């Protein structure tokens, strides 16, 4: 795969009447499927990731998912295999080191997939999960009308991919657009990546929940606050997730609203920096945090207007992603489009 791969809308893409096999590897689930030449997800299977059971157990689950995909009557017609994985990834070497899969460090995932009988000599193309999401949203989703876009996943972490001049820009190792680890608070919290004040540590769902708890927010029905910031309600542990913070923010809780405002501000700073650097037209936001809706998008647009002030950077359109849970597999398939035999 080239470092900068075409990702044009399907009305600009040559018709390729072939199916693509797809694999989406994450810390909680491993999904596989078949995707049509128009980007339609035709078949999907999924198993939980045994992330704490070691490298062999995770690979066995990958093989089982590929086995299940291969059982589909149309699987034999798939002409290439796309793989999107949690990262970091290295597309030059075909390796992955997912943060949430401790047993996989520099794991040769591309070769492991290519060696599976279901691959049967087909080209296998690897990419990061956020880059795959960008490819999916540009192929079939909210980024489709734009030639220059930043597609962001805001969930447990923050990842992103770039579309520049109508092409997916991966960078040499496949990690270009890794927005989550741009520093926006010079004296901020230390980040597991080794830096501090990273967007991920301020805008992710994990960060939103932590910020709210540290500011004194407690879930509805909480009776006792624990020493670690958790809480117990009448029926057991109360929901202190970012989704619960979003619900409280929609109900008008000032601490919850402030937690989302701070997260939106950090992400807006990163989007503004990207717009200034490479002149994007749109920022497409997906992931669990985006499900908060206007609780998140309203302050995001407001802060972006404060930070992106130069004329060429000030017109960025902010949009929610469209493909939801299908994005991982559709994006993995999109990564493999250029590997199709002609």
At residue 196, the pLDDT reads: 95
Q: Which residue has the higher pLDDT, 231 or 289?
A: 289
pLDDT of 224 above 50: no
At residue 342, the pLDDT reads: 64
What is the rounded average pLDDT for all residues in the chain? 90
Q: 129-140 and 327-335 helices cross at what angle (nearest 10)?
A: 90
Least confident of 152-166, 228-242, 271-285: 228-242
Least confident of 19-23, 146-150, 230-234: 230-234
User: CA 308, CA 315: separation in Å to the nearest integer?
Assistant: 8
Q: Evaluate the omega torsion of the peptide bond into residue 88 and state whether it is cis, within 30 degrees of 0.
A: yes
pLDDT of 235 above 80: no
pLDDT of 231 above 60: no
49-64 tens-digit pLDDT: 999 999 999 999 999 9
At residue 240, the pLDDT reads: 86
Give residues with Cβ within 8 angstroms of 194, minimum separation 6: none
What are the structural domains, with CATH classification, of the chain? 4-138+325-339 (3.30.420.40), 145-321 (3.30.420.40)
DSSP string of 172-221, one letter each residue: SSS-TT-GGGSBS-TT--B-TTS-BSBTHHHHSHHHHHHHHHHTT---TT
At residue 233, the pLDDT reads: 52
187-221 tens-digit pLDDT: 999 998 899 999 999 999 999 999 999 999 999 86
Angle at 254 between CA 248 and CA 255, to 5 degrees: 80
- Helix, strand, or coil here: 310? coil
With a pLDDT cut of 70, the percent of the chain lying above it is 89
> How many residues can be counted in the chain?
342
At residue 156, the pLDDT reads: 87
For residue 31, the cross-strand partners are: 24, 46
User: CA 83, CA 114: separation in Å to the nearest integer?
Assistant: 10
Give residues with Cβ within 8 angstroms of 112, minimum separation 6: 59, 62
Closest C-alpha among 122, 134, 41 to residue 81 = 122
pLDDT of 230 above 60: no
pLDDT of 12 above 50: no
Span 65-83, mean pLDDT?
A: 96
Distances (CA, A) of 308 to 137, 152, 159, 276, 314: 23, 17, 20, 7, 5
* Token pair recorded at residue 51: 């992330």
pLDDT of 251 above 70: yes
158-189 tens-digit pLDDT: 999 999 999 999 999 999 999 999 999 999 99
- pTM of the entire predicted model: 0.87
């Amino acid at each position: 795969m080239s470092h900068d791969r075409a990702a044009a809308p399907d009305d600009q893409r040559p018709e390729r009447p072939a199916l693509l096999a797809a694999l989406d590897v994450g810390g909680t689930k491993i999904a596989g499927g078949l995707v049509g030449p128009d980007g339609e997800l035709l078949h999907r299977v999924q198993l939980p990731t045994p992330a704490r059971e070691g490298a062999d157990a995770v690979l066995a689950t990958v093989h089982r998912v590929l086995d299940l995909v291969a059982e589909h009557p149309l699987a034999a017609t798939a002409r290439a295999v796309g793989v999107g994985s949690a990262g970091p990834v290295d597309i030059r070497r075909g390796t992955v080191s997912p943060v949430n899969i401790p047993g996989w460090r520099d794991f040769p995932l591309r070769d492991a997939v290519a060696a599976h009988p279901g691959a049967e000599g087909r080209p296998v193309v690897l990419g990061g999960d956020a880059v795959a999401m960008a490819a999916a949203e540009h192929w079939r989703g909210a980024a489709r009308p734009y030639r220059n876009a930043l597609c962001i996943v805001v969930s447990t972490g923050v990842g992103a991919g770039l579309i520049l001049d109508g092409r997916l820009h991966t960078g040499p190792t496949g990690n270009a657009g890794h927005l989550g680890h741009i520093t926006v608070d010079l004296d901020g919290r230390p980040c597991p990546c080794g830096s501090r004040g990273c967007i991920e540590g301020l805008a992710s769902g994990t960060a939103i929940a932590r910020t709210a708890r540290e500011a004194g927010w407690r879930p509805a029905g909480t009776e006792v606050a624990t020493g670690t910031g958790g809480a117990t309600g009448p029926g057991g542990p109360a929901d202190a997730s970012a989704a619960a913070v979003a619900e409280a923010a929609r109900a008008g809780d000032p601490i919850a609203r402030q937690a989302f405002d701070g997260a939106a501000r950090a992400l807006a700073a990163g989007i503004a920096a990207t717009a200034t650097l490479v002149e994007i037209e749109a920022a497409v936001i997906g992931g669990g945090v985006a499900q908060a809706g206007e609780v998140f998008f309203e302050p995001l647009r407001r802060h972006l207007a404060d930070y992106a002030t130069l004329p060429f950077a000030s017109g960025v359109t902010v949009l929610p992603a469209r493909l939801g849970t299908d994005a991982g597999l559709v994006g993995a398939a999109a990564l493999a489009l250029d590997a199709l035999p002609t």
